Amino acid sequence: MIGVTILGATGSIGVSTLDVLARHPERYEVVALSARGSVDKLYQQCLAHRPRYAVMAEPDAAEQLRARLKNEAPEIKVLAGQAGLETVAALPETDTVMAAIVGAAGLLPTLAAVRAGKRVLLANKEALVMAGRLFMDEVRAHGAVLLPIDSEHNAVFQCLPRDFGSDLQRAGIRRIVLTASGGPFRATPLDQLPYVTPAQACAHPNWVMGRKISVDSATMMNKGLEVIEACWLFNTTPERIEVVLHPQSIVHSLVEYDDRSLLAELGSPDMRTPIAHALAWPERIASGAPALNLLDLHLDFERVDYTRFPCLPLAYQALARGGTASVTLNAANEIAVAAFLDGRLAFTGIAHVIERTLADRPVREPASLAVILEEDAAARAQALQHVQGHAARGAVRSSA
């Protein structure tokens, strides 16, 4: 049996992962499940999947879960906080860790899994955006197996040769093409963008996802984070990565070889496909995703409009600046998206806050985790000031 820990079990990726695991009870055992504060949801998951451990990041929530499981499943050990997350990421009975916590909060538990040499299924792209070099060095140092869950990176991984060896040039690869749906506002008139609501931003046309990544998709910061992620995962530079709009989200990404062969991975927009791929790799297992009917397909590709999506060039800017600039970008984005979701910042204010925070913060060498975490905290404080500046100027409904 393969032991699986899911960090972020109550989220969109976590639920899809449990769905795939439940289809293969003879192959996988759920070792641990975690959440931040969703006690009810984790309680139900514990009863359905009977993990050995359950972790709530919030200590009060852990107390509540412990009390509720006491009679019905006393064998499940309930742990709390950051220490609990890091413990279950590194348990000897865990072979595979699904890293599906959203945002910077996922960095330390994901690193704990890497340092324990696990097979790490990386959904939490923010961890790699923040700690790229250090993260990849730890993967190599501890013999961890890192497999991408983002549908785009998983598609690229599937189109690479098996003996890729982290060298695109030697593998005869010219470029990677990441596809992007363009989100819910791909065709919204530009003058309406300042007034779009969180509910509209979270209503993605193709994918059902958590609220933060849904907003990232609407601003296309998600694609910016993915370009940075791809640079680290595939040991390449932004010049070799092209982003194209593909509104149907059927072609999940492509790899172009020197002979001009363009290999693509196609599938329904259903995260169970990359999850099943990474769980079983190099084997294949059923995912539960619906089959594609080629006769129904209509595939469009378009150029990205940077005026509509200013967050994407901001991510390129952070990549070009190097050092801790990606940490700054990620932190400012998390603060700005949270403010937008809370109604404290207009949709178009997200890019402004990130741009100003990037301009304010000095770039340092991300030589240690301490430097990365310091920059994360400092950039968050700075971004919060910019959010407050927007609110003070009454810009919440009118920042164009």
Interface residue list for ligand NAP (CB under 6 A)? 8-14, 35-38, 57, 100-102, 105, 123-126, 149-150, 207, 209-210, 212-213, 271
- Please calculate the CA angle 328-187-349 and round it to the nearest 5 degrees: 30
Side chain identity, residue 378: A
The alpha carbon of residue 159 and the mean position of all alpha carbons in its chain are separated, in whole angstroms, by 20
Closer by beta carbon to ligand NAP, 110 or else 399: 110
Q: Which is nearer to ligand NAP, 10 or 399 (CB)?
A: 10
Contacts of 251 (CB under 8 A, 6+ apart): 155, 179, 264, 265, 266, 299
Pure H helices in the chain:
12-22, 39-49, 59-72, 81-89, 107-115, 125-142, 151-159, 198-201, 211-219, 221-233, 272-280, 311-321, 325-341, 349-360, 369-392
The DSSP bridge partners found for residue 176 are 241, 255
Question: What's the closest the beta carbon of residue 85 comes to ligand NAP, in angstroms?
Answer: 6
β-bridge partners, 78: 54
In sequence order, what are the beta bridge partners of 243?
A: 178
Q: How far is the CB of 263 from ligand NAP (least distance, A)?
A: 21
- Toward ligand NAP, which CB reaches closer, 3 or 11? 11
User: Cα–Cα–Cα angle for 15, 16, 22, nearest 5°?
Assistant: 90
Of the two residues 216 and 390, which places its CB atom closer to ligand NAP in the complex? 216
Nearer to ligand NAP, 126 or 138 (CB): 126
Residues 6+ apart with CB under 8 A from 51: 30, 31, 32, 33, 45, 76
CB of 107 to ligand NAP, least distance (A): 10
CB 156, min distance to ligand NAP, A: 13
Say if residue 310 is preceded by a cis peptide, omega within 30 of 0: no
C-beta closer to ligand NAP: residue 15 or 378 = 15
Name the minimum Å distance from CB 122 to ligand NAP.
9
Please identify, using beta-carbon distances, which residue of 9 and 351 lies nearer to ligand NAP.
9
β-sheet with 251-257: strand ranges across: 241-245, 173-180, 251-257, 262-266
Q: Which is nearer to ligand NAP, 149 or 250 (CB)?
A: 149
Which residue, 324 or 333, has its beta carbon nearer to ligand NAP?
A: 333
For residue 215, the minimal CB distance to ligand NAP (Å) is: 11
Q: What secondary structure does DSSP assign to 132-196, as a single string?
A: HHHHHHHHHHHT-EEEE-SHHHHHHHHHS-TT-TT-TTTTTEEEEEEEE--GGGSSS-GGGGGG-
Residue 13 CB-density burial (10 A; 0-12 exposed, 13-18 middle, 19+ buried):
buried
Q: In angstroms, what is the minimal distance from the CB of 206 to ligand NAP?
A: 10
How far apart CA 273 and CA 265 sit, in angstroms, is 11
Closer CB to ligand NAP, 76 or 395, in the complex: 76
How far apart, in whole angstroms, are the C-alpha atoms of residue 160 and residue 218? Answer: 29
- If one counts every other C-beta atom within 10 angstroms of the C-beta of residue 236, the result is 18
Q: How far is the CB of 165 from ligand NAP (least distance, A)?
A: 25
Closest-by-Cβ residue to ligand NAP is 11
Q: Give the span between the Cα atoms of 15 and 6, in whole angstroms.
A: 9
